[in-house]
Every structure is written in C-alpha cells, then in structure tokens.
Chains A and B, each alone.
Chain A
Amino acid sequence: MGIYLLTDFGSTYTKMTAVDVEKGAIVAFSKSFTTIETDVTEGYYNALAGIRQQLGDFTPKASLACSSAAGGLKIVSSGLVPDLTAKASRLAAASAGGKVVKTYSYELTEFEQEEIVKIKPDILLLSGGIDGGNKKVLLQNASVIAETEGDFFVIVAGNRSASGEAQKILEAGGKKIILCENVMPAFGKLNIEPAKSAIRDLFIENIVSAKGLDKAMAMMDMEIIPTPLAVYEACELLSKGSGSEKGLGELMAYDLGGATCDVYSMADGLPKSGAFISGIQEPFAKRTVEGDIGMRYSLHALYDLIREEGGMAEFDPEEVADWLNICKAAPDVLPQGEHAKFAPIDASLAGWAMRLSAARHVGYVERIFTPSGEVFSQEGKDLTRVEYIIGSGGAIINAPDPKTILQEAIYSPRDLNALKPQKSKILLDKENALAGMGLLARSHPEVALRIMKSSFTEI
C-alpha cells in the first residue's frame, strides 16, 4: 500500500483524506476539530486516528497539507483605478489563494487606514500605475501604509518607475517588504503570476509559522499551501489534463463554505459571438472569493444582499431571522432534526449565494446600436460554453438537494446579459476531494485527475 495522507486544516475542521496511489482511489476519510489555538497537531492526530480505525495500522508514504485555519490568508489589495490596477491586484491576490478582504483604489483615506488596522491582514498587496505611468498614488499609499499599525508584509507590485522609492518609504516605516513585478505593466495587460508566487512564498516561509502551523509543517513532506490554492490547482488540472489522462475542458467550480464563496473558472472567456472586449482581458484560470457570501459566519451579510435584490420574499422574515440567529450561535448546525423546518430557507440562501457570487465572477455583454447596425461589447469572461460546473464545500455537498442550489450557477432569463454557462453538466464533489486532489497533484497529477473524474458524480 502506498497511502498518501492529504490534510486540510480548515477554520473549524481538520479534514483528512487517505489515498492509495497504487490503486488510484480514496480509501478513507476522517475529520476532527481544528486545534490551532492550542496545538494544531492534536487535531491532526485525532483525524489520523479516525483513518486508522478504517484502515488499521499503517505507515503513510507521505503526508501533505493545506490550510485555511486561523482566518486563512488574509490579504488587502490596492491599486489606482478600480477597473484597472485595483482589479489586477485583486485577481492576483485571489489566484494565490488569499481571502481578499478589501480592495482599495486611488489614494488611501484615513478611514481606510483604520480599516486596515482592524482587518489585520497577513499581506498588503500594493499596486498602482502602469510601468512609466502614474507614480503619485503608489508613493502616497506607501507613505500611508508605512504609518499604518500592524504586523503585515507589503508586496509592492506597481509602477516599476516608482517601486524603489515606495520600498524606501515603507522600509523607513519599519514594514517588511517584497518588491515584485507590476500586476499591470502596460495598459490592459495583466501580469499576476509574479505577485501570485510572491504571496505563495510568503505564506510558506513566514505566515504558516505565524499562524501556529509550524509544528504541522515539520511533519509534512511538502510545504503547507493555502487551501484555495490547492483547490485552484485541482481545478486547473481537472480542466487541462495531465500526460495521457485527458482533462474535462472548460469548467467552473463553486466552493461554498461557512465564511466565503469561492468561484473558479478555467476557460479562455473570449467572446463566443463576435463581441468586442472592453476593459482588461481576464486570465484563463480565474478565482474570485466573496467574503460577504457564506452560509454561516457571513450569513447575515448574505441575507442583506439578497434583500437588496428583493429576493426570498416568499419566506416569513421572522422565520428567516430565527434561522440566521441559530446559525450565528452554532455555526456547525444543519437544517435537520429539530431544525428541519428551516431546510427550505437554508436551501434558498445557498442558491442565492451561488447566484450572487456567479454574478461577480462572470462577464457581461452589452448591446450597442450604431449607425452600422448593432454591435456587442463584452466585459469580463464569456463563460456561456463552459461544459462542467463542479459543486464543492460543506454547504453544497451536505444539502438535501444540491442540484437545485447548483442550478443557480446556470443561466436563466432573469440573469439578463450575464455570460453564465448555458448548458453545463453539474458535477458534485460529494467526497469533498478538491483540495486534497490539488495537494496530491503536486506529486501524482494523473492519479489525482483519475480520482476526481471518477469520484465527481453528475447530478
């Protein structure tokens, strides 16, 4: 037996999947409470005991892990214009697996400075200006950040012509800084990979130990990475394939959890019907993360958004408020048993979570009438032809009717001009294997791919 242990240190649970790489199959799964407050390895050994109960005694061949414990990888990003460098910085931070709490544009205000202090980010990604372009905002924001309280790293990924000076300002303020290539070196041209790997390296080298994961790190055969990065890599593998094992082609994935909703698209996103692209062309592999859309910790924020859209009017507001409060008091509650009557409310909230986070991820098309006839202008990614949608995360896989929830990721006439998938097949990651397979992919991509293809079921 060649057993690989794949551990996901989550904010609430430490989830462990055992894979027999020779058989190419998941052979056991176990979970236990995360014990990051005391000693994170306690939760690890508890989960391992659960695996041993199922498999008997064995020596794992390797142990790999990812983590979103202790608040995940909290990032604040900033840029100049909201749709340009600010957007590029957000895309870079999200693709690195960060929980992008806030994205600022233009000069940081005093209010925003206070907000950063309260957020306590792990990393602040500072950008602004294309190379040779606007320097003022990068330097001004560097001065504000230099005087902002907090033990965070600053990655400077803005106008090359001003980065050196920004570095000096930040270092004079006692900040730890990493200099990196611009997230948008030329107008409309994204360059998010350098910032992405800078974030990844910082996480591995510094943040893991700051979060009390160093004891776990010492037990692993590879470095611990952020969980969303593992999911991102699993999605990329599932789409593109590896070696002789073919991928599924263009796909989207939704990971709906208690605190956030993560949306991934692996698709070129180019116009499918002759539209012009306006704004920046987004990358093939894109992740967005919504911190105000989640099924437990962010449930109140989610419900506020739904009410703004006029949704869930069919439910009695008092009953919804009851359920919201129950969830707030006990985040691991399920709408079962004594709470069974809340199941339709919970399902509707989850459907809306999908709908709202889809709306923030996909592109839009606009019809414009010109003297030479009608033309279409597209902003963001055209995902209409995406073939598969994968549903993952506790709030989806534990729901009594995940299909109805995931259906919200597919275009309906009320989505108007949103470029959502139109005829996708829906797959359910019922064993919650995505993150684990992203880890396994680092050593056994073909095995990880085969497992995903066989364990994801069409619903």
Chain B
Amino acid sequence: MEGHDKITIVIGVIGADVHAVGNKILNYTFTKAGLNVVNLGVMVSQTEFVEAAVEADAQAILVSSLYGHGEIDVKGLREKCDEAGLADILLYVGGNIVVGKQDFNEVEKRFLAMGFNRAYPPGSDPALSIKHLNEDLGK
C-alpha cells in the first residue's frame, strides 16, 4: 500500500509565478528522498493547494515563490486550510518570498505570524526542509 508510512506533501509555485526550474528540482529531490510528492507545478492558486492536500491527505504543503509577490499570494492560506478541515497540516514557504533585500529574521516572523510553520530564505537546501518535516511530524 503506497504512502502508508511515507510522508505525503503537496508542492507548487504560488500565484502568477511561472518559475519552473526550482519546482522541478524540489520535486526531484523530495521524491528521491522517499516522500510522496503531489507536484502542482507553477501558477498554483491557494485553492488548488488546499484541494490537492485534501484529496491526497497530505501532511504538509510546501509553497514556493520566486517573483517577490509571495507575501501577498500566501495571505489567508492557513485560514483556508482550517476551513477545509486541514487543521494540523504543516505549511512551509520558501524562495524569494518578499520584495527586495530584507532582513530574513523579520521576514520569517511575518510568515510565521501568517500561520506558516517554517519559512526559508533564498538558496536554502531542500535537505533542510526534509529534516524539518521529519522533526515536525515526529518521525
């Protein structure tokens, strides 16, 4: 039976963002690491993330954003998850998630306040998110 002990995650690039390369790298790395990956590709709406997580019974949604509008695009995602019954789902976000160069500690605080469990600055190693997934899920 697939996915019994495996972690199931939903990944994708949110909003009107068409940056596909990073998404493909993440898909490859996470799959190779033994995760069940539902990859939604680029230009993914909040609704699509939530619906995919519902059907797949995912434990985490990993949102990417490269074009600087991430902060606007992810607003309300936690609330949508709550509404859909995904109360305990982990939300991670990473990439160029804000406009310009800003102090990442400040940026991280803002995303955590929006209900994200983890936020990653540009250039983060996917291995770190895998480590965090295992920790956060108590594996």
Residues of A within 8 A of B (CB): 80-81, 83-85, 128-136, 160-161, 184, 186-187, 276, 278-279, 368-372, 375, 377
Do A80 and B55 contact each other (CB < 8 Å), given the known contacts A370-B17, A370-B18, A375-B43?
yes
Residues of chain A within 8 A of B45, CB atoms compared: 278
Q: Does B30 contact A (CB under 8 A)?
A: no
Identify 7 residue pairs between A and B in the complex whose beta-carbon atoms are under 8 Å apart, listed by A's number. A131-B3, A132-B3, A133-B57, A134-B54, A134-B57, A160-B1, A187-B52
What 19 new A-B contacts, CB under 8 Å, besides A132-B3, A133-B56?
A80-B54, A130-B38, A132-B2, A132-B4, A132-B57, A135-B57, A136-B57, A160-B1, A161-B1, A161-B4, A184-B55, A276-B43, A278-B45, A369-B16, A370-B16, A371-B67, A375-B16, A375-B18, A377-B43
Residues on B with beta carbons closer than 8 Å to the beta carbon of A368: 16, 43
In whole angstroms, what is the CA distance A278 to B58 when docked?
20
**With known contacts A278-B48, A371-B68, A377-B43, A161–B55 Cβ distance under 8 A:** no
Contact A370 B67 (CB under 8 A): yes
Contacts of A375 in B (CB 8 A): 16, 18, 43
Contacts of A370 in B (CB 8 A): 16-18, 67
Contacts of A83 in B (CB 8 A): 51
B42 contacts chain A at the CB level, 8 A cutoff: yes
Min CB distance B37 to A, Å, is 10
Q: Is B69 an interface residue (CB 8 A)?
A: yes
Q: Is B117 interfacial (CB 8 A cutoff)?
A: no
Confirm or deny: B36 has a beta carbon within 8 angstroms of a beta carbon on chain A. Answer: yes
Total interface residues in chain B, CB < 8 Å? 26
Q: Which residues of B contact A279 (CB under 8 A)?
A: 48
Alpha-carbon distance between A365 and B52 when the two chains are bound, in angstroms: 21
The 3 closest A-B pairs by CB, nearest first: A132-B3, A370-B16, A133-B56
Which A residues lie within 8 Å of B4 (CB)?
132, 161
Are A133 and B8 in touch, CB under 8 angstroms?
yes
Partner of B55, one of A130, A372, A377: A130
A131-B36 Cα distance, complex, nearest whole Å: 11
Q: Per a CB cutoff under 8 Å, which of B3, B42, B43, B54 touches A81?
A: B54
Please tell me if the beta carbons of B36 and A132 are within 8 angstroms of each other in the complex.
yes
Give Cα A370 to B14, complex, Å. 12
Contacts of B3 in A (CB 8 A): 131-133, 161
Cα-based distance from A88 to B16 in the complex (angstroms): 26
Q: Which residues of B contact A132 (CB under 8 A)?
A: 1-4, 8, 36, 56-57
Q: Which residue of A lies closest to B1 (CB)?
A: A161
**A375 vs B67: C-alpha distance when bound (angstroms):** 14
The reply to whether A81 and B68 form a contact with Cβ atoms under 8 Å apart is: no
A277 to chain B minimum Cβ distance, whole angstroms, is: 9
Residues from chain B with a CB closer than 8 A to the CB of A276 are: 18, 42-43
Contact at B67–A187, with CB atoms within 8 Å? no
Q: How far is the CA of A128 from the CA of B55 in the complex (A)?
A: 7
Residue on A nearest B39 in the bound complex, by CB? A187
In whole angstroms, how far apart are the Cα atoms of A278 and B49 in the complex? Answer: 12
Whether B16 and A133, one on each chain, are in contact in the complex, defined by CB atoms closer than 8 angstroms, is no
Instruction: Return chain A residues, CB-CB under 8 Å to B43.
Output: 276, 278, 368, 375, 377
Most B-side CB within 10 Å, residue of A129, A134, A369, A377: A134
Determine the residue in chain A with the shortest Cβ distance to B52.
A187
Which residues of A sit under 8 angstroms from B58, Cβ to Cβ? 133
Q: For the complex, give the distance between the alpha carbons of A160 and B16 in Å.
A: 34
